[in-house]
């Protein structure tokens, strides 16, 4: 996920607002106790998500892929006073871990966690989304987009993580795995869909930012 020289990454983080104490503790706790800790958004991407949320001031937000809750807490920072973030994860083993940090935070009452298959849960939420963050199984990125696009308000944003996939998407002829192929399809889908305008930001492992027209 490290595309930029280490000195540039370090300089960027040193000139980015720091993590809150609870995010710092969650980051450290995830690194120490949870498998595949690299899945956590981390400092720079977390502050980026928070900045987008503050700019948009969403009332209804959806996150697909909770993991340990770091990105949810970052996204929740910009919610309106009566805003709600629905976050979904299929791994029930992480539910108590994530909820423990939600409960410690000032945003706990604004975060509703759902455990199960997002493809089944999303249709039942019956919401109009101001902002959607996709960071789950890559094979279903296009399916998640199809589920949320018609329920995202005009001017709303859909953000997808890991769209550079450690650079594998830049070498499609070498793509052998299902995830890389799925992300190539998803990225082209974003580029070609007339309902959105998009920009791919090379932050961490790549963020696709799409605004619904």
- Each residue of 157-172: pLDDT tens digit? 999 999 999 999 998 7
Domain boundaries, the chain: 6-212
Chain centroid to CA 41: 8
pLDDT of residue 172: 78
Helix (H) or strand (E) holding 43: helix 42-56
pLDDT of residue 22: 97
**The model's pTM:** 0.95
Report the C-alpha gap between 141 and 120 in whole angstroms: 14
Beta-bridge partners for 131: 61, 157
pLDDT of residue 59: 98
Superfamily of domain 6-212: Vaccinia Virus protein VP39 (3.40.50.150)
Helix (H) or strand (E) holding 201: strand 196-201
Structure confidence by residue, pLDDT tens digits, 123-138: 999 999 999 999 999 9
Mean pLDDT of 31-37: 88
pLDDT of residue 38: 81
Structure confidence by residue, pLDDT tens digits, 68-116: 999 999 999 999 999 999 999 999 999 999 999 999 999 999 999 999 9
């Amino acid at each position: 996920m490290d595309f930029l020289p280490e000195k540039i990454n370090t300089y960027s983080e040193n000139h980015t607002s720091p993590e809150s104490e609870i995010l710092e503790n969650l980051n450290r706790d995830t690194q120490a106790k949870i498998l595949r800790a690299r899945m956590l958004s981390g400092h720079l991407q977390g502050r980026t998500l928070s900045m987008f949320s503050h700019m948009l001031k969403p009332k209804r937000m959806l996150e697909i892929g909770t993991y340990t809750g770091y990105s949810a807490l970052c996204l929740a920072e910009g919610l309106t006073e009566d805003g709600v973030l629905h976050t979904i994860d299929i791994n029930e083993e992480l539910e108590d871990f994530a909820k423990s940090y939600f409960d410690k935070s000032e945003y706990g009452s604004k975060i509703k966690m759902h455990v199960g298959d997002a493809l089944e849960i999303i249709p039942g939420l019956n919401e109009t989304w101001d902002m959607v963050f996709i960071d789950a199984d890559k094979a279903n990125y296009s399916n998640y987009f199809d589920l949320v696009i018609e329920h995202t308000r005009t001017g709303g944003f859909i953000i997808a993580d890991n769209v550079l996939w450690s650079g594998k998407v830049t070498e499609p002829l070498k793509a052998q795995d299902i995830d890389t192929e799925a992300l190539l399809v998803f990225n082209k889908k974003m580029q070609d869909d007339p309902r959105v305008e998009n920009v791919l930001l090379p932050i961490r492992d790549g963020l696709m930012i799409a605004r619904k027209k």
